[in-house]
Amino acid sequence: MNDMQNPQENTPQPTPEAATPVPPAADAGKPPRKSGKGGQTALYVLVLILAGALAAQGWYSHRELSSLRGEVAKRMQTGDSVSNETRIIAKSVQEAVTEVQAKVSVLESKQLEAQSQQLALEQLYQDLFKRRDDWALAEIEQVLSTASQQLQLAGNVQGALIALQNADARLARADTPQFVTIRRAIGNDIERLKALPALDLTGVALRLDSVISQIDRMPLLADEQPSQQAAEPKNRPAAKVRADGTPAGEDWSVVWKARWDSWSSELWSDIRELVRIRSVDTSDALLLSPSQAYYARENLKLRLLNARLALLSRNESAFRSDMIAAQDAIARYFDTRAKQTQTAQAMLKQVQSSNLAIEMPTLAESLNAVRNYKAQ
């Protein structure tokens, strides 16, 4: 741009001689006309004025052109400096943009990494949540299966109720809407168990234990002893005795008669105790040796213990069989006139009247609900 020139510079400037008007060619062959001095002077003045005007115009144009050149050069320098600054700014901006792009790339990579980690965490949480539900359902299924077996084999209604209530409480703590079906099935099983008739197994078992503890005090037919004579009343006044040994103030005949009556009654009582007639169904019950008597008591205890186990396991047939065998053993080997034996027989009849024929429900509805949910 410094080499640029104003088009006016290449234009040739008119000289004063060129500014002189040339007479037309038509007048070239004509002889010059004569004019006066006044006309020539005016012509010269006009030519001089035109020449001065042209010189002034040239000088002014040259000055304007120089000023324009300086302005253009100044502006070109300013433009160069601005261009340099612009290039510097553009370079710095480009570097900043490059840096920003690098940072954006890093942020995008971190964002992608964070998203992938979030997805992994969500998947892990879902897996853990699902596994926790699976573990809880597996444990509940195991507890319900065990409770169902105990209910069917031993009639443990209370244990089954506790197992169902614990399972329902655990599902309630999980607060999962999908468990509503399982909780409904568990609630139905709980209502069925609560509707069963009550049976006091503990009370019946305690009565059997009471009878077992009385067996050692129950008299056998083989070990019956003569009854002891009644003791003299303690409030009888002491009789006064004479020096010869007879009671004072009474006739000797009366005294001797009273002694004879007392002695004879005692003798007759002893003789009557020596011989006793009794009707016994089996004669071997009276011929038990001490060791056989011990085994008779122990066998009766074992019968009652077996009946107790059958009672707790809800085995009605075994319970009835052992109870009948125990009552037969008491009637065969024990003295049924004794108060202890009668009390034991009455208690055994009361125990035998207990109804064990209660059909136990199953926990199939709860177990099927748990298994169907796990199979989904």
Higher pLDDT, residue 251 or 230: 251
- pLDDT of residue 283 exceeding 60, the answer is no
What's the rounded Cα separation, in Å, for the pair 306 and 57? 150
Residue 249 zone, left/alpha/beta (φ > 0; ψ -120 to 50; rest): left
Q: What is the pLDDT of residue 274?
A: 62
Distance CA 318, CA 300 (A): 15
Is 36 a residue whose pLDDT tops 60? no
Gap between the Cα atoms of 237 and 235, Å rounded: 6
What's the predicted TM-score (pTM) here?
0.43
Give residue-wise pLDDT tens across range 58-105: 888 888 888 888 888 888 888 888 888 888 888 888 888 988 889 898
pLDDT digits (tens, 9 = 90+) for 147-195: 888 787 777 788 888 888 888 888 888 777 778 888 899 989 888 888 8
* Structural domain boundaries in the chain: 111-198+362-375, 199-223+282-358
The pLDDT of residue 80 is 81
**Is the model's pLDDT at 302 over the cut of 90?**
yes
Q: What is the CATH number of domain 111-198+362-375?
A: 1.20.120
pLDDT of 1 strictly over 90: no
pLDDT band at 241 (very low <50, low <70, confident <90, very high): very low
